[in-house]
Amino acid sequence: MSDLLSNLALGFATALSLQNLGLAFIGCMVGTLIGVLPGIGPIATITMLLPITFNFEPVGALIMLAGIYYGAQYGGSTTAILVNIPGEVTAIVTTLDGHPMAKQGRAGVALGIAAIGSFFAGCVATLVIAALARPLVKLALLFGPAEYFALMVMGLAFAVVLASGSVPKAMAMILFGLLLSTVGTDLETGVERLTFGIPALTSGIDFAVLAMGVIGFAEVLKNLEVPEKRDLAKQPIGRLLPGREDLKASVWPIVRGTLVGTILGILPGNGAVLGPYASYTIEKKVAKDPRRFGRGAIEGVAGPESANNAGAQSSFIPLLTLGIPPNAVMALMVGAMTIHGIVPGPLVMSKNATLFWGMIASMWIGNLMLLVINLPLVGIWVKLLDVPYRLMYPAILVFSCIGIYSVNNSPSDVLLTGIFALIGYALLKLGFETAPLLLGFVLGRLM
């Protein structure tokens, strides 16, 4: 126990440094921003910001990227409640009861309970990560290369099973990712492999280039096909703080949601996405009068909102302790870590103790920041919805191109990203998911 406390103290000392505090703040702001804006998800944003973080210290870089991820969970609920647009996949459930609440003039209360629930869930998840880390790492240290390989294969298998689309297609994408990870100079023999004689490929495909093309740019292409329509009927937000009745009704949903979200988040695959659904189902089951759900039941906001935030954070557990990415965002984190020269795995905790505990502490701080960013500034965030996508995507492209160029100061990287964007678009059109591809690529590099 005292061990845990001293570790957390170390973490807070790291996370509270001026630079890291600033980066956590930027991460949370950006996360909220993209959470609010439909059409830009955390995966695409993290891929786009990945190149820029190369200039930071590894701890700061990861703190910022993590902030984007869980910040997006907060932001996503804001638009779900106010304008019935789920900013993120995880906020879809929130629209069911959150928006009816807004229609009844209780938007503020819905936002308030969502933020309180998320904050509680974030605190609990942070503690769970801190408590589970040491035993899990001890276990992982007993593993040899063979066990490790088996664990990775298991991770891949889970990712396939839990992928939303067809299983053979997900498997094909993982294999495609593996294949792409073999491009470049072979480490054993020094021979050039699958480079087609192109000099830019001899050192292998850059993770940032692949991710930006296949996920970031391809998402822009996907969004361009959908004509934009936003229903911006605005209701007054009303008071933000829930009354005693509301709080009483929400306490248990928040606790249950946190529990369900934390457990599902640890699972490989799309844990953080499953959490809110599971929580909503549970709340509906235990409710005395299930008919209220869908008509503005506060439990239907409190539970799922807690679950999605808990899940977003607990999905860091497999990454930080075992070095295995349970989902696409965590695969990006693996990419970020390796770029900074950190090999993800059980050794991170002992070798990079400041990074490990600093990240955990920053999550708690980040949650506190999000509470402050979200509630009072809610009006500003909603105004952002007025920015049309026709202006948003050219700006995204400019920033992304600069980001990719700055990784190696290489124009050919930018060109390669463009090619991967086309490949990513074709894959989407053929019904392939691109997240498993990234997982396969990352694991191929780790093997």
Kindly write down the DSSP assignment for every residue of 146-187, as one continuous string: HHHHHHHHHHHHHHHHH-SS-HHHHHHHHHHHHHHHT-EE-T
| 22 interacts with another protein by CB under 8 A | no
Least distance from C-beta 392 to another protein, angstroms?
Answer: 10
Q: Near another protein by CB under 8 A, which window of 16-24, 282-290, 336-344, 412-420?
A: 412-420
Could you tell me the smallest distance in angstroms from the CB atom of residue 377 to another protein?
A: 21
Told to check if 144 binds another protein by CB under 8 A, we report no
Interface residue with another protein, options 199, 227, 236, 341 (CB under 8 A)? 227
Least Cβ distance, residue 105 to another protein (angstroms): 33
Q: Map residues 167-206 to x or -, x wherever contact with another protein holds by CB under 8 A.
A: -xx-xx--xx-xx--x---x-xx-x-xxxx----------
Return the residue matching tokens 């870089």: 61
> What character string, x for contact with another protein (CB under 8 A) and - otherwise, covers 34-63?
------------------x--x--------
> Of 245 and 386, which has the nearer Cβ to another protein?
386
For 182, list phi and psi in degrees, rounded to 5. -90, -5
Residue of 151, 158, 405, 433 interacting with another protein (CB under 8 A): 405
Nearer Cβ to another protein, position 142 or 191? 191
Size of the site for another protein (CB under 8 A): 57
Task: Tell me which of 89, 221, 371, 384 binds another protein, using CB under 8 A.
Answer: 221
Residues ≥6 apart with Cβ < 8 Å to 11: 130, 354, 356, 357, 358, 359, 360, 361, 362
Residue of 120, 129, 123 lying closest to 7 (CA atoms): 129
Minimum distance, C-beta of residue 103 to another protein, in the bound complex (Å): 27
Q: Measured from the CB of residue 443, what is the shortest distance to another protein in angstroms? A: 12
State yes or no: residue 406 binds another protein (CB under 8 A). Answer: yes
Cβ pair 29, 66 in contact under 8 A: no
Nearer to another protein, 356 or 420 (CB): 420
The whole-angstrom separation of Cα 254 and Cα 124 is 11
Provide the greatest CA pair distance for the chain. 70
Tell me the C-alpha distance between 92 and 242, whole Å.
22
Distance CA 355, CA 11 (A): 8
**Shortest Å, Cβ 422 to another protein:** 6
With respect to another protein, which residue has the nearer C-beta, 370 or 414? 414
- Rg (Cα) of the chain, in Å, rounded? 21
String marking each residue 361-400 x if it binds another protein according to CB under 8 A: ---------------------------xxxx-xxx-xxx-
Q: Is 228 in the site for another protein (CB under 8 A)?
A: yes
Q: Does 401 bind another protein (CB under 8 A)?
A: yes
Q: Output the smallest distance, CB 169 to another protein, in A.
A: 7
Contact region with another protein (CB under 8 A), list: 17-25, 130-138, 291-299, 407-415: 407-415
Is there a contact between 306 and 259 (Cβ–Cβ < 8 Å)?
no
Residue 185 — φ and ψ, nearest 5°? -75, 130
DSSP of 295-309 = S--THHHHHHHHHHH
Q: How far is the CB of 119 from another protein (least distance, A)?
A: 31
Angstrom distance (rounded) from CA 263 to CA 185: 41
End-to-end CA distance of the chain: 35
Burial class (CB in 10 A: 0-12, 13-18, 19+), 197: exposed
Nearer to another protein, 153 or 194 (CB): 194
- Contacts with 15 (C-beta within 8 Å, 6 or more apart), sequence order: 21, 24, 63, 358, 359, 361, 362, 365
Which tokens is 162 given?
């839990």
- The contact set with another protein (CB under 8 A) reads 52, 55, 166, 168-169, 171-172, 175-176, 178-179, 182, 186, 188-189, 191, 193-196, 217, 220-221, 224-225, 227-228, 388-391, 393-395, 397-399, 401-402, 405-406, 409, 411-412, 414-415, 417-419, 421-422, 425-426, 429-432
